[in-house]
Chain A
Amino acid sequence: MNNELTVGFPSLSRNESLARGVAAQFVSLMDPTVEELSDVRTAVSEAVTNAIVHGYGGAGGTVTMKLVSEGDLFTVTVSDEGRGIGDIERAMKPFYTTDPQSERSGLGFSVMEAFMDSVSVVSAPGEGTSVTMKKLLRRE
């Protein structure tokens, strides 16, 4: 069964739990294992936090999350229209953070890569960021 859901919400930190809750409900329809469900919740939380904290910073904006299921393949795309990323390769390095003073762990992308099968990032300065993550549910 293929399915699709797109939601948009303001870049408020309390919407991080809302977003991962929606993603978890969507993936639940695909009959995932407890671990797969936990992986998706964590990866979505990282991507949405990045959009809110780094994409928009203090400025407000809309975060869009698109969820797609095609058979056993789950795809989630989290997009913002914020400041964008100049050097994507550097941004994805473990422990790299743009803001060491604010206690960011610099692990957001590393967690996404560890918990999902693939992570791709499309971004340019001033043109927002779109993160697409895929996971094949194996139910093992």
Chain B
Amino acid sequence: MQIVCSREGATLRVALTGEIDQHFAAEARAKLDPLLGDGRIRRLIFDLSGVAFMDSSGVGMILGRYRKLTSFGGSMDITGAKAGVDRVLRMSGVYGLCTKGGGI
């Protein structure tokens, strides 16, 4: 599992690779929260094109980061989810929180 963050102005793009379960979600939280904690990031993009597997623990991790971001008035989008990952995301309703309103 790999997390690659790239920042451009107030936008943070987070590319995740591998399998996101509860074990990995804890790692992702620890890595992302320091970047989101000061309110300078206003737009967060999760690039899931490299994610082969995700369960509801991954959804919990994404929702938690969303809450952190919106407490500063930011917005979120999710891109590149493969079929299995996309099904879990759709079930959770998390796409409804994205500015594009769906996977992009």
**Whole-angstrom distance between the alpha carbons of A13 and B61 in the complex?**
15
The count of chain B contact residues (Cβ–Cβ below 8 Å) is 21
- Interface residues of chain B, those whose CB is within 8 Å of chain A, are 19, 21-23, 26, 29, 53, 55-57, 59-61, 63-64, 83-84, 87-88, 91-92
Quick one: which of B21, B61, B83, B92 contacts A17, CB cutoff 8 A?
A: B21
Task: Classify the secondary structure of B's interface with A.
Answer: helix
The count of chain A contact residues (Cβ–Cβ below 8 Å) is 25
List chain B residues, Cβ under 8 A from A35.
83-84
Q: How many A-B residue pairs have CB under 8 A?
A: 66
Q: Does B53 contact A107, Cβ atoms closer than 8 Å? A: no
Quick one: which of B64, B88, B91 contacts A103, CB cutoff 8 A?
A: B64
Residue of A nearest to B59 (CB): A105
Q: Does A111 contact B22, Cβ atoms closer than 8 Å? A: no
Chain A 96-140 interface mask (CB, 8 Å, partner B; 1/0): 000000011111101100110000000000000000000000000
Interface-located stretch among A46-54, A63-71, A73-81, A85-93: A46-54
**Whole-angstrom distance between the alpha carbons of A76 and B84 in the complex?**
20
